[in-house]
Amino acid sequence: MSSSPVSMDDLPLTRFHCRIAGLTYGAHLTDGYVLGVIGYAMIQLQPQMQLTSLQEGLIGGSALFGLFLGSLILGWISDYTGRQRIFTFSFLLITLASFLQFFVTTPEQLIFLRILIGFGLGGDYSVGHTLLAEFSPKRYRGMLLGAFSVVWTIGYVLASVAGYAWINIAPDAWRWLLASAALPALIITLMRIGTPESPRWLMRQGRITEAHEVVRRFLGANVLPGDEISAVTTRHISTLFSARYWRRTAFNSLFFICLVVPWFVIYTWLPTIAQSIGLEAALSASLILNMLLIAGALLGLLLTWMLSRRQFLIGSFLLLAITLSVLAFTPSSNSIAILLLFTLFSMTISAASNLVGILPAESFPTDIRSLGVGFATSMSRLGAAISTGLLPLALTTWGMRTTLLLLVAVLLVGLLVSILWAPETKNLSLVEAAQQKTQGKENEHSVGV
């Protein structure tokens, strides 16, 4: 006797879900490594290339600027062409550009290559979050999407370990550090060969037979694609600012920006900041703090499972703002208090970062999901790129206390936006989540997808 049909949304977690998750996590592992290793490479780059503060900022923020472009452009393209093609192309680009970093001779060459790396990563962020969300059962979607943060953190910590171990071995150690990102990128590229197209996307293109074939082949003969409806949403960036979607676009972009700006400012320049605030053995201190990010990311998975999306996000912004405020007024001579505050900040922001992989993917319908995720990601990376690039100038002009208080202001904006607009999407199907209103009163037609 054949079993009764079951929707993709109601499946238990299977080996295939874990495989897709592993393949999509590859972008975050590589992203964490790429962004983490530049802080250590800069220790040798600055004196060797006689970098100005502006050049330091441009190198530090170049990958983030590439992420801005890639998230926006490739995310939009994937809603037209499908998820799988961008899923493959992005890592081919990342592998090649990462390898070529070994041969750079000028700051401009390095900036260009890191923009290309960021471009590929940005596209993969948009498509990876979307593809995993569209395959995931609703019960496990938050956990699977939230785990992006754990993997990103592992990549970042691996970069710290490599930087800490290699940076003083040879004068050209920075070349090996930067080019080493090509190895995981190549492995991920090869493993992604044969990844199926999203059945939800196929359904929205009217390719019903192909969608059912993908589901039968990879999830089971009795499994049906998700509850996609037939009406098509206009795939244009202006749709994100229509009466139906502008609040969720604004919320996802702003909360994302306000969470990642303090993260990237502090952790891209962590060795420099540790020295500035008086921590002894700054490289050792920054390595320890980076290791704590993994513990925080794992804690975030637990909190994602236990708490509502709104509770988790609002509480995190509040705690982060308080922590940085206290840190700003802690004397630099009190290294123990500084280390404890940085520990609390590290674990909290790492835990809350799980939500950046969840909420954008749950906020938009299939037709514009990659576009919506890509736009939110691109805005966050643009903000992070600008703020990271300006950090050396801010430290020189205003000092550490004022710089930290500016970051507190960013966190308070995120707190306000979350209180006003954060939706609750936990345990909903993707269609139900996309229909869910933000806390602010939306256009009454917003229940459509």
Confidence class for position 150, pLDDT limits 50, 70, 90: confident
Report d(CA 72, CA 371) in Å as an integer.
7
Q: What pLDDT score was predicted for residue 415?
A: 96
Percent of the chain with pLDDT over 90: 16
The yes-or-no verdict on residue 392 having pLDDT over 80 is no
CB 138 within 8 A of CB 427: yes
pTM, rounded to two decimals: 0.74
Beta bridge partners of 223: 6
| Mean pLDDT, rounded, of the chain | 81
Q: What pLDDT score was predicted for residue 83?
A: 84
> What mean pLDDT comes out for the span 156-167?
82
Q: Environment class of residue 183 by beta-carbon count within 10 Å: exposed (0-12), middle (13-18) or buried (19+)?
A: middle
Q: What pLDDT score was predicted for residue 112?
A: 95
Q: What pLDDT score was predicted for residue 272?
A: 57
Residue 3 Cα distances to 220, 223, 242, 362, angstroms = 11, 10, 43, 30
Q: Which CATH class is domain 13-195+229-447?
A: mainly alpha
Confidence class for position 311, pLDDT limits 50, 70, 90: very high
Kind plus residue range of the DSSP H or E element containing 223: strand 223-224
Percent of the chain with pLDDT over 70: 85
The yes-or-no verdict on residue 436 having pLDDT over 80 is no
Q: What pLDDT score was predicted for residue 285?
A: 60
For 38-63, the pLDDT digits (tens) are 878 888 888 888 888 788 878 877 88
Which of 13-22, 76-85, 308-317, 377-386 has the lowest average pLDDT? 377-386
For 246-297, the pLDDT digits (tens) are 898 999 999 999 998 887 776 666 655 555 555 555 556 666 666 777 888 8
User: Higher confidence at residue 388 or residue 271?
Assistant: 388
Q: What pLDDT score was predicted for residue 94?
A: 92
Q: What pLDDT score was predicted for residue 98?
A: 93
Confidence class for position 416, pLDDT limits 50, 70, 90: very high
Residue 6: helix, strand or coil by DSSP? strand
The yes-or-no verdict on residue 445 having pLDDT over 50 is no
The yes-or-no verdict on residue 353 having pLDDT over 60 is yes
Among candidates 47, 40, 53, which has minimal Cα distance to 396? 53
> What mean pLDDT comes out for the span 375-400?
78
> What mean pLDDT comes out for the span 415-441?
73
Q: Which two tokens stand for residue 350?
A: 């790492």
CB 372 within 8 A of CB 133: no
Confidence class for position 169, pLDDT limits 50, 70, 90: confident
CB 198 within 8 A of CB 83: yes
Report d(CA 206, CA 8) in Å as an integer.
18
> Within a 10 A sphere around the Cβ of 61, how many other Cβ atoms?
29
User: Higher confidence at residue 104 or residue 363?
Assistant: 104
Q: What pLDDT score was predicted for residue 318?
A: 97
> What mean pLDDT comes out for the span 410-421?
95
For 171-222, the pLDDT digits (tens) are 888 999 999 999 988 988 888 888 898 888 888 888 888 888 988 898 888 8
The yes-or-no verdict on residue 88 having pLDDT over 70 is yes
The yes-or-no verdict on residue 348 having pLDDT over 50 is yes
Q: What pLDDT score was predicted for residue 417?
A: 95
The yes-or-no verdict on residue 446 having pLDDT over 50 is no
Q: Tally the C-alpha atoms within 13 A of residue 222's C-alpha that lie toward its C-beta.
A: 8
Q: What pLDDT score was predicted for residue 43?
A: 83
User: Higher confidence at residue 174 or residue 227?
Assistant: 174
Domain residue limits, the chain: 13-195+229-447
3-state helix, strand, coil in the chain (%, to 5): 80, 0, 20
